[in-house]
Every structure is written in C-alpha cells, then in structure tokens.
Structure 1
Amino acid sequence: MSYPQAPISTCPPLPNITLPDGFTGQDVFVQTFFEGPPTCKCCKNWVESEPAEAPPEVKQKYVGTAIIKYKCKDHTSTTVGGLRQYKIQWMDILSPLIRKEIKPLLASLGYDFPNDAMTLHAPFQALYFGQARISDRFARLEEGCDDKQHLKLLIDVMKDLFVDLAPRVNDLLGKGKIDAAHLWVLFPKGQIVHSRHLGHVQAFQVRSLKDWNLYCRYVAYDGAAFGWTYTNIRIHEFVGTRSANELEAYPIGFHPRHEELKEELIERGRKSLDYQGISFSDYEGPAEGRIVRVYDEEEEEDYGPETQHIKATGRVVVDAFRGADYVSPMGSLGTLTPGASEETKLPCPQGRRSTPEEQDIYRSRIGVNRLWLMLMSPKTVAYHLKEKVWVSVSVEGLSPTSWEDDAFEQLVLPKSTKDLVLTFVESHKTTQALGSDFVAGKVSDKVKRPLYHLQAGEMGSKPSSLKSSLQKAFRLCEEWDGVLLLDVLLATLEYYSGIIFMTTNILEGLDPAIVSRLDIHLEYSCLDFPTRLQLWRNLLPPPPSTPQPSPSGTDDSSATLPAPAATVPDQHHSLTEDDFLDLASWKVNGRDIKHAVKNAWRWCFIKGKPVTLEALQTGLITTAPGSKREADVEDDGFNGGKRRRIE
C-alpha cells in the first residue's frame, strides 16, 4: 500500500491561522484529524473527532501543534454494523525540539530527514526500529525541560502505535516465521540479507521495502573502482504466515549456518580483490554472456548481441574493465565512504583502468572491512577463449591456469627451430593475443601467455567488418600480452606490433607481400617413419607402471599431440613393440593418427576392453581411407606433394 508524501488537500479547506514567527510546534499537545464523509470527489475531508454517522463541522487546523496525526479508515477490516476502524496513516512532527532530539538517532539507523519537514508514514518503520534509542534518550533528559516534555508526546504516540504490534511480531519471529502484514519488520534499513540472486548466493544491504520489492545494494567492481551498485529483489506475494528463510531474501541471521556463511562470503570477497587487473585463469562453472556479432560500419548493421548461457569450462581472460563494454554494464557506481580522513579515502578513477598502486590501496582498505567483503559481488567479467564471447563468471569458479609445461617439448620440429621460435616469443616484450593451435598453442603455454585464435568466418566478409574484428583482436591482445593466431592473411598486418601465428595449407597461394612480412617460416613436410612412430607412442602411452620404450632411429625432433587419456582416464592398450612398428608403417599425417587413436579409444572404451591393434587399424582406415603402408607406395606418392602446411 502506498501512502501520500504530503497531507492531502481538504474540501472545504481548513482555515489558516496567523502565528508569530517560529511559533510552529511550540504547544505541548497532540492534535488528531479523522477522515470524514467526503464533501466532493477530489479531496479528503478531515474532521477533528472520530465520526459516528454524521461528522461535526470541520474546525480550524492547529498549526501550533507539536505532532499532528492523520487517521484514515482502515479498509482492510470492518466492525459490527459495517463501521470502519480508523488507523494512523501518517504524522507530521512539527516540534523543533522533537526533531532536534530524534533526527540524529534515526540517522544512525539510516533514516535521514534532510530538511525541517518531518513526515512519517505507516507502518512507521523509522520509529519502530528507533524506539529503543528514543526511549533511552528520553530517560537521560533532565526532568521538566522543554525537550523532555515534547519528547514525552512522541513516546506516548509510539506506545499507541506499537501496543499490539510488538507481541505479534515477537511471537512470529520466535518461531522463525513472518506474516504478510508485518513483512517490513524483517527489513530495517541497513539490514544484511541473504539471497540466491541470479543463481549465486549473495549478501545485500537493505535500502527499503515497497510493494513487495526489496531495494538493496552491494559492492561491485567495474574495472576502475569499487563502489555500490543497486538492485531490487522481488518477494513473491503470499497470504498468512511463511517461514522467514523461505523468502526470496531474508535476514542472514535466519540462515541455519549464518556464521559459517558470513565467513564464506568474506573469503569470496577477498578472492575478488585478486581479479582487479587482467588475469589469465581456468574457469569451471556456469556463465552468462552476450554474443557480440560483427558490426558492419557501411550498412550500420549489428548482428546481435544475443544473450547466451554456457557452461564455460576452459581458459578465460578476466578483464572487468574491458568486459564492461560487453556484459551487464553497471553504470556509475556509488562511492564507498570508509571515512573522512585522507588516510581512508579510496581512489575513484573514471574512464580508465585502475593502476597497480590503486589496486593495492583497494586490496588493503577493503580487505579489512568485513562488511564490504561480505557484500562483494560474486561475479566478474571474463573473455572465454574457446567460445570467443564475453561472459559474466563466478569468482568461485576461477583458478590459476594449468599450463601444459611439456606441450612445447612434444612439438615435432628440429631442436634448433624450436629454440628459435621460443626465443623470438620470449624476447618480444609487447606480445599479445589469444587462441590455441598446433604450434601457437604450445608456444603460448611455454611462455604462459593467453592465445587468441581468430578465424576467417569470425571476421565478416566486408572490408569494414574485417577491419573492426582485427582492431578488436589487436586491442585485446596488446592489453593482455598474449599471442594472436590468425588463420587468414591480413590486409592490416603492417600495423600490428605484437606476435602472430598464421597458418595455411596452400603455400603456393601466399602473397609475396605477406610472406615478406613474416619473420619465421615453419614448413611441415611429410612425416618420416621415426616421427610417425614417436607420434603413435605419444598418443598411446603405456600404463604408469610400465616404462615407455625409447624411440629408435629418431632425429632431434620431439613428439606432438598430448595423449587423450584425460578423455578416458582408465583406458589402456595392449600393443606390443611390433604393433607400434606396424602402425608407423602407414603413411599418414599427424592429424590422421590423432583421429584414429581417438576413434579407437572411444570404441574400445564402450566395449570395455583395452585398445588393440585391430581397433587402431580400423580407426585409421575410417579416418584416412586412402592411406597405405610405406612399402606399398612410391616415395613421391605420399600426400601427393601438392598441399603443404606452414606455420
């Protein structure tokens, strides 16, 4: 139910009384007006005494009254004969002495009255939650002083207001329940409540309750500063009584593990302080984001964004500042105010990233404020490298990246070539990008940098969309200090100062102007027998207790493609050394070997048996149906020599 913000006009109007300046509210008495029978269709008719059937003539308004109460008919209940009861709907506290005494008391509870006017509306939350402090103040005032005489009026009004309320509320709360009529009792301003908001357990600080909407705030980070952000939680309407902890939000003290929950929220808040800058992380859990399609500047057409929910398992780049442009922009955050002194003021950069020094200030100042930590948002914004989309992720699902330290060692290239590539990347101070592929993925893991893989289909078909996609990728890679992998040839290659891995299967079709701009050229020729043998062994490792045989006849190349044991962790094979030699005799490439192993592995896993030579040969035939053994083909017949892949 909503209440008027100022006294409703009367018809006919109550006469004004001319009083000396400063006289308002000086008389020590309370005046009550009642809603009388209407005299027109637009106004309330206020009367001085409670009407029976016919109200007396309206009398003058007593502007010298310290407190004016306004009683309206209670349309939620009736008495015998159909007569309505009257309830106080709002009151004006005109006495300057009362206002002087109670304003600071109510302000300490979060109820502010910025000017001389002081109008309170039913159900009078400020007085209910502040009655103990007001009574204590009254008891400490000197007997007979004007302040005490005036405050005694308010004490008596509060007793009348809450005489029936306190027993009812105490009985309900003692049972852990609440009824619809007294729901507001659970939510004083500043109350800390628990809620599962958008799938996350979270704590909020109450601002107000109105029409079943609980208006709250919590602490969030936008990549530049920490501050208050505001939301509302809808309490589903109900009748009768309901258990307090079954509400969509409820005081955290009603949670069965409230003390443990508080500590868990505080620890999660501390973890959030570690993700102020740019962090490369692993993520496990649900996420929500928007697919931002390619924007065509010429046609001014934007294909998106579209909201999507994904199970975002994989590597992400946490970047709240850049991600704010794509996921759930919060707008301006309210300023956190720990204190007035210079020593406690927090930085508030606008329009830029927070500096490492500013992040340290937040970490030290917020890290000791348990309330702020408890109210910290459970989410941050990250870029999912595999899905190529900005997502809102849970801080709890983030963990340090699990780098594949041996991935680079398994790369099939001469040792001198690998050393050149690694040195080139490690020494490039401004390297940036994201993505994963054959060489680039292993290099990025070796140097512990994110890899951004940009493909032709993601960049659009027009020059404007191509330029926009490249500029976005370049900007992110430069900010994240990553490695960019492009599967296309670039018109704007000349202007990029980072590191790019480019791949193609058609060497002869490369534009000489592009080739001349590449520092290192890595060509993959046909695999020889020793290399194929090593690949089969890498992809089919023996059980941990069995030593792996050393390859024979290999050069200084090393293996590639990690074993798929993570997909089927308990699966083993029954291959002998002769079986490996047989498999290596098939003239196939590394991708064919990988797919053959994967298919055979899954097949045997479903059948509940170890991987056999027969299963691998079957997988190889179905993967590369044109493949033959080395002894059955001419030396120049393998792979035709027409399509070569370079990186």
Structure 2
Amino acid sequence: MAVNSDAPDVASATNTVKQPVTKDADTPKSESESEDTKYANPGTLCGVHNVYQTKPDENDETSWSKELPETIVDPAEDAESAQYALIVRNVKCYDGRKSLSIHSIVIQSEFLKTFLGKVLEGYPGVTATLERLEFTAPFKPLVHRWEDFLKAREAEDLDETTKEHVDLLYKILEEELRDVLARKKDLVRNGVITHPLIWTIFEPDDVVIANISGRLHASLFVNDRINCRTQSIILDGKFVEFDGDDFGYCDTEYEVPLFLGTVPITCLPAFPLRYHPEKEAIRQSLVARGKLWEQHKGFHYKQYEGTAIGFLDDNKKKKYHVKSRIIIDAEGFNVFHPHETVDVWGTVPNELTEEHQLVASPAVYGYSLKDKEWLMFYLDCSSDIKWNTDAFDSLVLPKEQENLKDLILAFAKAQSKSLDSFDDVIQGKGRGIIMQLSGPPGVGKTMTAESVAEVMQVPLYTMSAGDLGSNADDVERKLKNILRMIPKWGAVLLLDEADVFMEARTTTDLQRNELVSIFLRMLEYYEGILFLTTNRAEEIDPAFESRIHVSLTYKELDTNSRRHVWNQFLSRSVKTETFSDDQLDSLAAVQLNGRQIKNMIKTAGLLAWSQNRDLNYEHVKTVLGLRKATSPLSA
C-alpha cells in the first residue's frame, strides 16, 4: 500500500548539556566524581540530556543508557541520496529465488509524481503531490493500476525527462512485480484465485457482493487484513445506511477462511461484482432495490412475512419468523431499542445517486406489532397492507348504542387529523382522546379498537397489564416510551383489561395506588387515541371520569346479535347459503359470546379439514356438543 509522508527524515540538532546525576549513598562514585560535585536545581538548565536504548538482554528486556550505541550508523537518506529520482530500500529475501527484495520505494522525482498522479488518480490513500511519496511492498496501488501504468508510459505526450524517469521506475517495478502480475493474470483468466493473492483482485472502492442468508449484499471495498490467529483474510467494506435522520455509510466485513490451492472467484464469501458473469443484470437489480429502499426512509406501515433479525444485549443476533404488521422507523429504533443503534458516518446526499443505491442496505429497521420487538427487517419480505374496509360496519353493538359507533369514529378521525385544537391551561395537557369500553368478555370491546384502526388505516398498538408489569418504576418507564411512540406513528393505542390501572384506590393497597397514580399522570400528557377496556366499570377510580371522553358499555349478546356474529364469521369460511336460516337460528340460541363463536367455527373448520370435507352445520353441531360435554356446568 502507498504511504505518504511529508515529515523530514533528517533529525534536528540538539544542544546537549552533561548534567551531574545525584546518587544514593550506597551507589559507588566514579573516578571523575567527587563529593564536592555541585548540581543545578532540577529542570533549570536550558539544554537536552540524551539517553539511548540498550540491546535486549536474555529476557528480551531493554533499558536506557547515557552511552552512545557502538553499532549506530549514519542516516541512509541525506543530501547525496536526495539527488536521485528514486530511493529503493532493499531487504534480504529468503524465498530461494533471489537474494534481495524491495521493501519500499521513495519517489523523489517531480516528473514521476506528476505521472503517477494521473495513473493513480482517485486511488484511496495516495496523494502524489506530497513532498515525500512512498510505496511499500507488495505495492498494491501499482499492481491494481498496472495496466493504466503501461498505457500512460506509452503515451506520446511524455517529455524526454519524464519518459526517462518513468522507464527507470518501470524497469524496477517490472522486475519486482513480474511474478505476481503473471500469476494474477493467469488465475483471473481461469476464473480462480489463491488465498495469498486474494488482495490482487480487490481494489479500493470495488463494488463487492456477498450472498448472506439468501440475499445479495453489496458494499464498497475499503481494505483487506489478515487475522493472525486463523490466517483468514478480513475484507473491510462500507455500505449506505439510514439512521432515521440522514443517509451515510456503515462498516461491514467479510471473512475468507484459509484455503489451499485455488477456488473460483465467484465462490468466495465475497467477491468484486466485475467478476460476476451477469454483472450488468446484477447491477440493475441492486440499483432497483436501492431505489425502493430509499423510498422507505422515515415512517411506513407494512405487512411482513419472513425472517427478521433481533439484537440481544450481549452483541448477539437472534432470528425471528415474523408474520405481522410492522412499522418501519429507524429513528424510533435508535431511540427505543436498548441494545443496538444504527450509526452512520461520511457524506451521502439526501437524494441518492445510482452509485449509492447500488450499495444500499437490503434491510430496514422498525417494530413488529405482534412480537412487540424492535427488529431489522428485509425489504423483500414486506408488502402493502390489505385493509379490511368493512371492519367497522361489521361491528355488532346493541341497537340503543348503534349511534355511538359514528361518534367513536368521528372522535378518532378528528384526533388523527389534529382537527381538535383544544388544549389544557397547561400546554401539552389534555390533547389526547380517551375512550372507555366496558363489559363482559367477547362482546366486541377489542374489536371496536381494531375496527377504528382498520378504517383509519393506521397502526393498532395493543398492550395489556401483563406487558407493563407490576413494578412501579418499570411500568412508568414502559408507559413513557409507549406513549411517546404511539402519537409519532399516528397509531391507535389499545390497553386491554386495564382494570389494574383504573381500579379505585384504597388505603390498604399502596402498590396498586402508585400504579393508578402513574397511569393517571401519564394520561394527562398523552396526545393520541387511547381505548381502555375493562370488565369492571363500576370499580373505576373517580379520577378517570374527568379524563375519559367517551364511555361505551357492552352487554351480553342477545339472540339477534349472536345470529349476526355467526353469519359474519361463517361467511368468511363458506358460502352463506350453506347454512339455512333455521340452522343459524339454532346456533344463535346457544349462549355464546363473540370470541367463543369465533373459536367454535375455527375448531369446526379443523374438523372438516381432517375429514377432507367442506365445513357444514354438522361439524359445528359436533363441536358445540363437545363443548357442552366438557363444560364444568354440564356435570
């Protein structure tokens, strides 16, 4: 690799002053010293006292001495050596083919610097205009640009002096690099490479591709290095990433384990795109993926099915199979994920060029609503959401409360579009919409929140008391994060079975009192849409009454409501006419809630599948009979 240095090689002169050294009482005095020797106060003499490192002893330890080493030699580079176009440093060679090899070459000719500046233009790490230009074995820049060197050497516009200096350098390099260049050419012609010569086919800023978990990853090559313990070659690269605010580069690396003989270049764990037999098609595919990836910066709500990656607190990764709606949000990942952040460096434009899109990340960062985990998602596993626009219309409520459906939806839409500009006396307080849904299980409380989110086409974040825990500090921390995330996404928040946080405070249960107080305080500053479901509305703390905008009480389903629910769920599995009116009436007569009806149909469907038949009334009757036989009330 080329090494540039503008530091002078000649040491500056020093004014050496010999100063007496104070010794301990037991230290013998030299003949030149006497008890009358006088010393200046410490640090007062304007001078330098030089000491010299000694040779290593039998333990490979060194010390310092006032005596000049006997083996010291004069500097090799001086006014005499500065006259020459090149300084070639040679070392002993032990490969059996020659006695000396070149360690490094110092370019001193201004003609050569100008020539090499054109040949190596854009090569990272090389600045040909520096006063001192040095190349060190194995001379990677010159090996990588050898064809350019040869073409430039044959150019007709070279003046006589430059031509002479270039020919001198060519003769030295050709003799030194002949074997490497010939072996590289032969290997590449056969589409293979050896482990010791991998460095010859990786040039800085090469587009490198790797197949990781069945996906093509692309990056720009930066450098290679050796793992001294395993002798593996580590290929360092960089790719374009988004941190939630800006595009930039992230570092990556690929490991090439030690191997004997040759392997096909395209079988390496990572290899330059230019060696791929379909490089143009691959390039176009990567650029197209990069364009799509660029469009997913910011916040996006998607359906996802496939592998996702989680990050643990011990720097390990965990694979998840996710089949859920997700929220793509790199900024949120950086704020709320406890173990990993997306950090970028370097300058990348906000509008990516094709070269940046080519090496863009194949993944995005966000949140799985079902798994309640911050994860890394692969873009090719995401898709647009298919919304259930009929969800709200299919919601079954008692007739006397049907008009409340429109009120709930109106409240939610107004809050979502920030039409309600009302604020509390204290800025930021009272800006949320809180709706309480109470009643027995399975009558539609949860479905109400789900339907509102579906009609509004926004995320629904569902949590229960179990997700928050019972420790006051943990509850406060988790609630604080959740209540910050949800309004940012424009999501609907559903706190299911919120009784433990809403139940009236007492003089005996101080721990629960603290949970209720924390919850009340958090609600004051919540700015989104919140549904609270409870089974015991009559036991709610009075302080919640002033914070709840809409309260809806659900009753047990009557016969007509149950018939409607049976009809709805069955229509998703079979044709409506499969069940007669009498059969639907018979099913509706059984005392079941909505959740139980759904489970009955699901179980009956499994029974029909096991018999390789379509779902019919007899399957449902069989499941209902089993339920009655196993019910504790049937004994």
- The 5-angstrom pairing of residues 226-625 of structure 1 reads 226-290=247-311, 307-325=317-335, 326=337, 328-336=340-348, 346=349, 362=350, 365-366=351-352, 369-413=353-397, 414=399, 415-428=402-415, 429-430=417-418, 437-487=446-496, 488=498, 489=501, 490-491=519-520, 492-541=522-571, 548=576, 575-623=579-627
| 1:587-624 Cα deviation digits (max 9, x unpaired) | 11111111111112112212222334343234235556
Cα deviation, residue 239, structure 1: 1.7
Rounded Cα–Cα distance in structure 2 between residues aligned with 1:118 and 1:526: 87
Is the contact between residue 587 and residue 628 of structure 1 (CA under 8 Å) also seen in structure 2?
no
TM-score normalised according to structure 2 size: 0.74
Tell me how many residue pairs correspond in the alignment.
516
**Amino acid across the alignment from 2:562:** R
Distance change >3 Å, CA 41–CA 244, structure 1 → 2: farther
Shift in CA distance, 617/119, structure 1 to aligned 2, threshold 3 Å: same
Q: How far apart are the structure 2 equivalents of 1:142 and 1:542?
A: 81
Secondary structure in 2 aligned to 1:231? strand
Which moves more between the two structures, 530-539 or 90-99? Answer: 90-99
Q: What is the CA–CA distance in structure 1 between the aligned matches of 2:572 and 2:127, rounded to whole Å?
A: 77
Distance change >3 Å, CA 122–CA 448, structure 1 → 2: same
Change (3 A) 1:204 1:307: closer
Partner of 2:115: 101
* TM-fit CA distance, 1:88: 2.2
Counterpart CA distance in 2 for 1:70 and 1:182 is 23
> How far apart are residue 5 of structure 1 and its match?
9.9
Identity %: 25
Change (3 A) 1:542 1:466: closer
The 1:309–1:542 alpha-carbon spacing in structure 2 relative to 1, beyond 3 Å, is closer
Corresponding residue to 1:188 among 203, 216, 229: 203
C-alpha separation between the residues in 2 aligned to 1:4 and 1:109?
Answer: 12
Deviation at 1:578, TM superposition (A): 2.6
- Residues 592, 620 of structure 1: 8 Å contact kept: no
Aligned to 1:118: 133
For 1:153, give the aligned amino acid.
L
Give the residue type in structure 2 aligned to 1:421.
Answer: I
Q: Give the distance between the partners of 2:175 and 2:75, measured in 1 at CA.
A: 25
Please tell me the residue identity of whatever aligns with 1:331.
D
Instruction: Report the Cα offset of residue 380 of structure 1.
Output: 1.1
- Quote the RMSD (CA, aligned, Å): 3.4
1:54-133 → structure 2 map (5 Å cutoff)? 63-64=81-82, 65-75=84-94, 77-78=95-96, 85-113=99-127, 115-133=130-148
Separation of aligned partners in 2, 1:305 and 1:153: 53
Counterparts of 1:371 and 1:232 in 2: how far apart (Å)? Answer: 20
Q: Write out the 4+ residue segments of structure 1 that deviate beyond 4 Å after TM superposition.
A: 2-6, 14-18, 57-62, 141-144, 304-307, 430-433, 621-629
Query: What amino acid sits opposite 1:531 in the alignment?
Result: S
State the shift of 1:135 in Å: 3.5
Contact 2:333 2:366 in 1 (8 A): yes
CA distance in 1, matches of 2:474, 2:214: 36
Partner letter of residue 81 of structure 2?
V
SS of 2:478's partner is helix
Secondary structure at the residue paired with 1:230?
strand
- Structure 1 distance, partners of 2:539, 2:411, is 26
- Of residues 489-498 and 612-621 in structure 1, the stretch that sits farther from structure 2 once superposed is 612-621
Give the Cα separation in 2 of the matches to 1:166 and 1:306: 42
TM-score between the two structures when normalised by the length of structure 1: 0.73
What one-letter code is carried by the residue in structure 2 that aligns with 1:459? L
Query: Structure 2 stretches of 5 or more lacking a match?
Result: 14-54, 58-72, 227-232, 419-431, 435-444, 502-518
Matched AA of 2:101: K
- Write the deviation string for residues 107-141 of structure 1: whole angstroms up to 9, x where unpaired: 32334237433221222111122233333433446
SS in 1 for 2:393: helix
Decide whether aligned partners of structure 1 residues 432 and 170 sit closer, same or farther in structure 2, where only a CA change above 3 A counts.
Answer: farther
Deviations 1:358-393 (A, max 9, x none): xxxx3xx32xx2211111111111111111111111
> Is residue 211–residue 269 contact of structure 2 (8 Å, CA) maintained in 1?
yes
**1:400/1:143 CA distance change after superposition, 3 Å:** closer
**AA aligned opposite 1:609:** R
Pair 1:588–1:95, CA change in 2 (3 A): same
Q: Deviations over 1:500-524 (max 9, x none)?
A: 0011112222222213421112222
The residue type equivalent to 1:619 in the other structure is: V
> Retained in 2: the 8 A contact 1:485–1:502?
yes
Could you list the per-position Cα deviations for residues 192-236 of structure 1 after superposition, in whole angstroms to 9, with x for gaps in the alignment?
111124663111111112211111111111111111222221111
Change (3 A) 1:271 1:4: closer
SS in 2 for 1:409: coil
CA deviation string 1:81-114 (max 9, x = no partner): xxx7433232222333322331343132334237
